[in-house]
Amino acid sequence: MKKENNVRSQNVTDYPNDNTYFLVWDLRKEVDIVKIKTVFSQVCALVINLNNSALDRFPDAKASCVMGIGYEAWLTLGLPKPLPKELKNFVAVKGEKHTAVSTPGDLHFHIRADKKSLAYDMSSVISGLMKGIAVCTVEVHGFRYWDSRSILGFVDGTENPHGADRAFFAVIDEQDPAYKGGSYLFVQKYIHDLDAWKSLPVHEQEKIIGRSRDNDIEMADDVKPKNSHIALANIGDDLKVVRDNMPFGNVSSNEMGTYFICYASTFATVEKMLTNMFIGDPPGNYDRILDFSTPQTGSLFFVPGLDMLDEFSG
């Protein structure tokens, strides 16, 4: 599953860091389009500058900022046509019991750093530019929970590709030559019912996930329930995405969740995964984790390659 990629992509293949800021911004309709385009160009230049500066000043901090652009923003900003082949407004996936909701989103920023102060500074300077032309509709501060576990207590991302396969599954190549080096970015903000989850015995939790909690070993196929998360969310070795999920939350209100985020060379893979989870395979056999995890957002973005981002910066 390896390929050579001679174009520069944004940092979509890195591994999750200790601290992450997720920001979704919607462009203000009342702001003059000339100003919006001017600030957008400045933001593109800023993203490039922040990444270069972080690499030079803090080479061991694993810091980066990745920017994605939504379908409506692509049109508003007058970006190249034809559009990336699979860039569109995400359509909600409605099952009999659960729904993967669709929510607006014009620009998405995924800001990572092992040092929280660096992630904060990068987020702050981006927000300083953006607030004149857009409204921030989602701000999530993610953190690493123990050995990359979700707040549900299970290791998250075990099925992620590694090595050169990360670029194969996350970065566009010849399937859309005009957008080589780009990626599709899909995000969902989930809130978990931790009280209900924690009331379950560990062996029942393990059946819902499809893995052992303590040592992260997948159940054998003849033991793993057909409606477990692993059985439905993993759709084959040839159809993978690069996940960078992070826990977040407010302990006093018990509003704890997972920010699901994935990069993919084709959005069709993500759609297949969501269909399995929410509608079921076969229909009705939905992902049992959804009885304890409710998506509040769902948005699709396109992450341009670095050369295209440089062009957008003017």
Active site residues: 156
Please list the residues that pair with 299 across neighbouring strands: 187
Question: Which phi and psi (to 5°) does residue 239 adopt?
Answer: -130, 85
Question: At which residue do the structure tokens 């001017």 appear?
Answer: 38
The DSSP secondary-structure symbol of 93 reads E
28 neighbors 134 (Cβ within 8 angstroms): yes
At residue 200, the 3 state secondary structure works out as coil
The DSSP secondary-structure symbol of 78 reads T
Peptide bond into 282 cis (omega under 30): yes
**Tokens of residue 24, six digits:** 């979704």
Which among 128, 98, 62, 40 has a CA at the least distance from the CA of 312? Answer: 40
